[in-house]
Amino acid sequence: MATESTTITGTGVVAGIAYAPAIWVHARPSLPEPGATVAEEARDAEYERFTVAADTVAERLAARADTVEGAAAEVLKVTAGMVNDRGWRKAVRKNVNDGHPADYATVAATQKFVDMFEAAGGLMAERTTDLRDIRDRVIAELRGEEEPGLPSITSERVLLADDLSPADTATLNPELVVALVTELGGPTSHTAIIARQLNVPCIVAAGPPINEIPAGEPVLVDGASGTITLDADEETARAEVASSRERAAIVAQWRGPAQTKDGHRIQLLANVADGQAARLAADTQAEGIGLYRTEMSFLSASQEPTVEEQAAVYRKVFDAFPDSKVVIRTLDAGSDKPIAYATLQHEENPALGVRGLRIAWGNDGIMVRQLDAIALAAEGRGDDAPTWVMAPMVAREREAKWFAELCRERGLTPGAMIEVPAAAIMADRIMPHLDFVSIGTNDLTQYTMAADRLSPSLAYLTDPWQPAVLRLVKETCRVGELTQTPVGVCGEAAADPKLACVLAGLGVTSLSAASTAVAGVGAQLADLDLAQCQEVAEAVLNASGATAARQIAAEMILG
């Protein structure tokens, strides 16, 4: 008889299935309470004690960085650098001078920086795990306690943690740690970055329920769906792991450029947020960048960076792909990505508010300066490295026309995101002004289904398999074919291998997704002829809903 199982859902960041007993990272040290005071004459010695402990921690991290490669080494070096940060050490010094013991002085100084990072939000907020990590290491060192972090692991385990520190993740052995699950974190946290590099199935932001999982309990982790299943049937779980490994082996062998079984080319590109992500993408089979979300680079900026400052940021992404296409998107500030210098405050409905291209409508300075910066950064890129520029949230023909003119005046190739239903419906009017379009299925789904993409309770609606969304994709592709305009997809839909086949069947010419998803999509496309993709697409368009559409595709596409 099948036993009932419990499922916890988080954000899957690396696909793959694993089944093994759970293990937790070493506990963090208890934090000191305020109150104790150090006599004035002992304060210099107390700060010296801190300096010795911090230097030891920094040296240990730097030494560990020398034993690993790539992003792992970079992460360890950055963490060691944070221990040496002068601002942080100065804050500790001040607290010790005020009479606090070294351990509490460290806690208070770190908290000051954590508060600052959290207030900045976005990517900065995800770095607070790194700050707390160095705090805990220094406190353990001050007390002569064991360094917090990874336990020693001798057989396959699923590693659980509130949030893994970069130093923990950088040294773990992917042969023994078969999956990572964290309560906190985000898709761009260090846990996610390292898990991608090691190709270990990984789920972040699984929430407090994972604290109930005792060490030693077998858990089934599915990094694609973001689910952790307790009490899974062992035989079924092991079969799922075996078939996932078989598929992973096929995917690992896959080499681009992508095409269907009968040779129909689909360009596979990567979505990135900064230079580091672009460099990681350059190590995959991605043929270029299909979406560079420029706003992600400025989430913590309080003032608009100058044209030169912006160009320096963009250059880091261009430099990762010196001989390939890069599609750069102008600021999509607003809604869930507020930027201090570009976002209107206190909108009632920010997702329906002044976001994307709308921030520059009627006040084009911010757009003009960004396009100047893009043109400056792209100087010297040859014909084999085209720079395409697209605007987010285009809804009307006149917006497309205006944006295209600004781009062409600067020698840039203009395009638009198709992510507002109006743009898909008016594609025949919008597309003639542009050289390409890219469908943002995340927002296109949100706006088509009138369902907030951030709401977990509306996840059944914000599903890109919704036939209503796919019909808008089809209409966009029809106009694309008629006007000979390339139509890409750069929303999360492009990361789902089966949905990618449907999109190819609908007439999409390029797909852009997280770089880790590229090989999986390429391998799946290689299994099907274009005519099969078209057949599945036709069937899915006529499905009654997203679940039915998925089921139809699963039955028609094996693998």
Among 74, 103, 332, 435, binds ligand PEP (CB under 6 A): 332
Q: Are 537 and 270 in contact (CB under 8 A)?
A: no
- Nearer of residues 288 and 334 to Mg ion, judged by Cβ: 334
Buried b or exposed e, range 394-427, using 16+ CB within 10 angstroms: bbbbebbbbbbebbeeeebbbbbbbbbbebbebb
Q: Is 295 among the residues that bind Mg ion (CB under 5 A)?
A: no
477 is catalytic: no
Buried b or exposed e, range 348-364, using 16+ CB within 10 angstroms: eebeebbbbbbbbbeee
* Choices 59-67, 226-234, 440-448, 473-481; region in contact with ligand PEP by CB under 6 A: 440-448
Shortest gap between Cβ of 345 and ligand PEP (angstroms)? 20
* Choices 25-33, 208-216, 416-424, 445-453; region in contact with Mg ion by CB under 5 A: 416-424
Shortest gap between Cβ of 329 and Mg ion (angstroms)? 9
Q: Is 11 among the residues that bind ligand PEP (CB under 6 A)?
A: no
- Nearer of residues 172 and 394 to ligand PEP, judged by Cβ: 394
Label residue 30 exposed, middle or buried (CB < 10 Å: 0-12, 13-18, 19+). exposed
Distance in angstroms (rounded) separating the CA atoms of residues 188 and 533: 32
Which parts of 480-519 interact with ligand PEP (CB under 6 A)?
490-491
Distance in angstroms (rounded) separating the CA atoms of residues 479 and 58: 58
Place of tokens 């700050």: 131
Q: Is 293 among the residues that bind ligand PEP (CB under 6 A)?
A: yes
* Choices 210-218, 394-402, 434-442, 536-544; region in contact with ligand PEP by CB under 6 A: 434-442
Strand pairing of 6-9 and 227-230? antiparallel
Q: What, of ligand PEP, Mg ion, none, does residue 497 touch, CB below 5 to 8 Å by kind?
A: none
Distance in angstroms (rounded) separating the CA atoms of residues 394 and 540: 27
486 preceded by cis ω (within 30°)? no
Catalytic residue among 407, 477, 490, 501: 490
Among 128, 370, 387, 441, binds ligand PEP (CB under 6 A): 441
- Nearer of residues 232 and 327 to Mg ion, judged by Cβ: 327
> Kind and range of the H or E element at 218?
strand 218-222
Q: Is 448 among the residues that bind ligand PEP (CB under 6 A)?
A: no
By rule CB under 6 A, what string of x and - marks binding of each residue 75-114 to ligand PEP? ----------------------------------------
The residue of the chain with the least Cβ separation from Mg ion equals 443
Q: What, of ligand PEP, Mg ion, none, does residue 293 touch, CB below 5 to 8 Å by kind?
A: ligand PEP
DSSP assignments along 442-502, one per residue: HHHHHHHHT--TT-GGGTTTS-TT-HHHHHHHHHHHHHHHHHT--EEE-SGGGGSHHHHHH
Q: Are 273 and 244 in contact (CB under 8 A)?
A: no
Cα-to-chain-centroid distance, residue 277: 9
Q: Is 333 among the residues that bind ligand PEP (CB under 6 A)?
A: no
Shortest gap between Cβ of 291 and Mg ion (angstroms)? 9
Distance in angstroms (rounded) separating the CA atoms of residues 194 and 187: 11
Shortest gap between Cβ of 344 and Mg ion (angstroms)? 18
Among 46, 136, 274, 419, binds ligand PEP (CB under 6 A): 419
Q: Is 463 among the residues that bind ligand PEP (CB under 6 A)?
A: no
Among 126, 136, 183, 419, binds Mg ion (CB under 5 A): 419
Shortest gap between Cβ of 474 and ligand PEP (angstroms)? 17
Shortest gap between Cβ of 443 and ligand PEP (angstroms)? 3
Torsional sign, CA 472, 476, 481, 482: positive
By CB under 6 A, the count of residues binding ligand PEP is: 10
Query: What count of residues does the chain have?
Result: 559
Which parts of 43-82 interact with ligand PEP (CB under 6 A)?
none
Q: What, of Mg ion, ligand PEP, none, does residue 163 touch, CB below 5 to 8 Å by kind?
A: none
* Choices 6-14, 407-415, 437-445, 528-536; region in contact with ligand PEP by CB under 6 A: 437-445
3-state helix, strand and coil shares in percent for the chain, rounded to the nearest 5:
50, 15, 35
Show the tokens assigned to 365: 């300075």
Shortest gap between Cβ of 442 and Mg ion (angstroms)? 5
Catalytic residue among 190, 407, 433, 477: 190
190 is catalytic: yes
312 Cβ contact list (under 8 Å, min separation 6): 377
289 Cβ contact list (under 8 Å, min separation 6): 269, 270, 271, 272, 278, 281, 317, 320, 321, 324, 325, 326, 327, 328, 512
Which parts of 421-450 interact with Mg ion (CB under 5 A)?
440, 443
* Choices 82-90, 160-168, 233-241, 413-421; region in contact with Mg ion by CB under 5 A: 413-421
Q: Is 168 among the residues that bind ligand PEP (CB under 6 A)?
A: no
Q: What, of ligand PEP, Mg ion, none, does residue 490 touch, CB below 5 to 8 Å by kind?
A: ligand PEP
Separation in Å, CA 536 to CA 104, 481, 498, 550? 62, 19, 9, 10
Place of tokens 């043929």: 287
Among 133, 240, 287, 443, binds ligand PEP (CB under 6 A): 443
Q: Are 8 and 210 in contact (CB under 8 A)?
A: yes
Q: Is 260 among the residues that bind ligand PEP (CB under 6 A)?
A: no
Q: Is 358 among the residues that bind ligand PEP (CB under 6 A)?
A: no
CA nearest to 505, candidates 523, 518, 482, 487? 487
Shortest gap between Cβ of 458 and ligand PEP (angstroms)? 16
Question: What is the crossing angle of helices 441-449 and 467-483, to 10°?
Answer: 120
Shortest gap between Cβ of 77 and ligand PEP (angstroms)? 30
Q: Are 191 and 11 in contact (CB under 8 A)?
A: no
Q: State the residues that interact with ligand PEP by CB under 6 A.
A: 291, 293, 332, 419, 440-443, 490-491
Hey, which residues are catalytic here?
190, 490
Q: State the residues that interact with Mg ion by CB under 5 A.
A: 419, 440, 443
